[in-house]
Structure 1
């Protein structure tokens, strides 16, 4: 690979001992499309056998976002038109997520700025995950009629207590302190020190030691302080209705905000998400979770809530989605079960010997 490859929306270049991958679509908050995903896979394939590349650094162009997710416009047009388009995007995206998680050389993800959905997929499974004071992380899918994907349920299921379930059902956003506390990131490095960190890695320095050298206290973790009421509301709950009932019984502002967020989200997505996170708690590999994600997203493409959720939140921005069905009570167990049934064309990812829990 040449010293600089400009594929317009992905920059892949050598910087000393570092193979540097930059998602370069700042006007769209570095949202991933199919060409970007394939360009990143090509770079990773070439660098794997290049002895001059010791470490891969993954970052985003601009100062607003690392990666705000997948290309939501493509998903919407696919949901109202040809589902095969989005399913192809997800197949390749999940392959990239698994590749980054299993990469034989250290991957350092600099999740500076907005990091949501697909951004979590490419960043939060890396060997070393860095956030800055500008970082905002979230899996906000239930707000658009979808369930967390890109292996996000696996990460959320392994957060302390029930913090991950809370984030999944409320589409909650976290800053650097909570990102580290919840296990979505490893270190906080001030944005102004990232360039020096990369320069240091380019000398061939050991990533784990080097990143720690630049790391600073991430600051407060509000979710850690809220752990008591969050665990009380979510632990052992088998239905979203039960979660909401428990939250409503806590006469404090924050649980009230959680009730409002859950009430605004898509009922079907909420019920599928709760089950997905619960099932992920027993998984040992990212591939297992990504196969579940592909089943769920494929089914959501056929459900009216996905197109409607994207319309209300992203396209028309009226924030008034008309969910079908409109209440939790109308979503029965059989409807939820159908989302998890095997597909005729399952996602095929070759598992490697290292379990996800060992890798992390």
Structure 2
């Protein structure tokens, strides 16, 4: 409120100067607007998702900071209708999505709840993936500029809420990964569409190994469209909300400006730059057996490290993931999501997803017992089953 008092005094002092008065009133209006925004947030602080409509802009805040804003079905069911309503409102010119707290945008989906439901035959195991993918498609086809502040941990379901949108803003706090092969799953939420398009074999490498990208590297890899340092993110949001009638070009201009001014964080070479030749050569295989053979024949310390990492992952997940990405390279987002929904339901019917979640998230012994335990045990017929059509009434409809 101190700033309000100062501005009122300024208006009174410069009352005879019309130009100064106009500027002061404009500043006062902006401050009042942001005071109202904060007040609205406080009244709904217990909600899992917060929604605000500020003039022509919508703001979505994932509000489970203690759970690293992990995405559950109730959040999905709240976000989708609001995004749809805003998209259908011709007055809506921009949507921002962000996460509460300072640790995560969204650390992933609630896979533990999904596996528990799968054990009981509960519909949640079907509904979660289906409705999540429908939301991913909504974001990927959104007709309003969509800006995701991926400030903090952004994995799995959090990637699906951001990467298909027009603008993705990372900071030095961003940690990106698709670590699903470590829990017997696969890089879903449209991973089959965006990962193969990162260039070379980078997407295949990230998907199979679960390698984590941080800070500027998230931008350099092409996952984020912009990099803005953390201490400028609040100011960035304010500047975006102050645009009177924003176009995609206006938004781009503001984001470019903040990126240019984010010089406190050192701009180093891409962390995988020195390894890209090996990634493109050694991860260029149509089968996991080929990739294993490439790494073994290379014999370098780097190749041996990657091979040891892959041997910890679910062999079934890796074979399914490789095919998913190879096929997804030429598929639309919609076709990828239909394919991925089939795979997700096969994961629910198989063994490794449950075992991976147990080992990593429940018992946390980090010692999953995969079935089969080696890639040679995963037959082409088994992989084919993962991609086979579901009964017509169960298929994903977009």
TM-score for the superposition, normalised by structure 1: 0.92
| Alignment match of 1:303 (pick from 350, 375, 391) | 350
C-alpha distance in 2, partners of 1:103/1:287? Answer: 13
Residue 266 in 1 paired to residue 310 in 2?
no
| Alignment match of 2:258 (pick from 195, 211, 214) | 214
* CA drift at 1:293: 0.8
C-alpha distance in 2, partners of 1:282/1:52? Answer: 35
Corresponding residue for 2:172? 133
Relative to structure 1, is the Cα distance of residues 131 and 219 closer, same or farther in structure 2, using a 3 angstrom cutoff? farther
C-alpha distance in 1, partners of 2:90/2:364? Answer: 49
C-alpha distance in 1, partners of 2:342/2:232? Answer: 41
CA contact (8 A) 1:180 1:186 kept: yes
More helix by share: 2
Corresponding residue for 1:24? 63
C-alpha distance in 2, partners of 1:138/1:176? Answer: 12
TM-score for the superposition, normalised by structure 2: 0.83
Corresponding residue for 2:50? 11
Residue 196 in 1 paired to residue 240 in 2?
no
* CA drift at 1:35: 1.0
Corresponding residue for 2:120? 81
C-alpha distance in 2, partners of 1:243/1:9? Answer: 42
C-alpha distance in 2, partners of 1:254/1:137? Answer: 21
* CA drift at 1:51: 4.3
* CA drift at 1:134: 0.6
* CA drift at 1:257: 2.2
Question: What do the CA deviations read for 1:41-67 (whole angstroms, capped 9, x no partner)?
Answer: 122122123344311000001111100
* CA drift at 1:279: 0.3
| Alignment match of 2:218 (pick from 179, 199, 217) | 179
**Two-structure CA RMSD over aligned residues (Å):** 1.7
Residue 312 in 1 paired to residue 376 in 2?
no
* CA drift at 1:83: 5.2
| Alignment match of 1:152 (pick from 179, 185, 191) | 191
Question: What do the CA deviations read for 1:12-45 (whole angstroms, capped 9, x no partner)?
Answer: 0023432100111111111111111111112212
Larger radius of gyration, structure 1 or 2? 2
Greater relative CO, 1 or 2 (CA 8 Å, sep 6+): 1
Corresponding residue for 1:101? 140
| Alignment match of 2:94 (pick from 51, 55, 62) | 55
Residue 227 in 1 paired to residue 267 in 2?
no
SS in 1 for 2:198: coil
Unaligned segments of structure 2, at least 5 residues: 1-35
Higher deviation after alignment, 201-210 or 18-27? 201-210
How many residue pairs get aligned? The number is: 346
C-alpha distance in 2, partners of 1:103/1:28? Answer: 27
CA contact (8 A) 1:162 1:230 kept: yes
C-alpha distance in 1, partners of 2:287/2:343? Answer: 18
Higher deviation after alignment, 6-15 or 166-175? 6-15
C-alpha distance in 2, partners of 1:337/1:53? Answer: 44
C-alpha distance in 2, partners of 1:207/1:280? Answer: 30
SS in 2 for 1:123: coil
